[in-house]
Amino acid sequence: MKPASYVFAALALALPSLACAETLLIERVQEETMALPARGMSMEQVQARFGAPADRLDPRGGQKRQWPTINRWRYPNFVVYFEKNKVIDAVAVQADPTEVGPKPPIR
């Protein structure tokens, strides 16, 4: 057998196990078309559109001028990250422990 044949044989053996994969977080987000805050929205805009957060986590960073303070707001289905008062990212949380994706943030 040629070396390339070994690769194809290994893939053929692995394919059945790949067929029973877990639900990926990104697949759930795409299926539900989850509304998340957009980058650049202000804290006021996020609160007006999504309501008050379930929890405002302690800020991180800010020890030096080049390390901006990052604020985090936790909602039931996602966490919003702010630099100063602008959204820099919003991340969906796991629906259940079997879902593959980010875990809820540590307090």
Ordered domains of the chain (ranges, CATH): 23-107 (3.30.1450)
| 60 vs 68: CA distance, rounded Å | 8
Buried b (16+ CB within 10 A) or exposed e, 70-102: bbbbbbebbbbbbeeeebeebbbbbeeeebebe
pTM beyond 0.85: the answer is no
- Per residue in 4-45, pLDDT tens? 555 555 555 555 544 455 555 555 555 556 789 999 999 999
- Per residue in 65-103, pLDDT tens? 889 999 999 998 899 999 989 999 998 887 666 766 655
Which uninterrupted H or E stretch holds 50?
Answer: helix 43-50
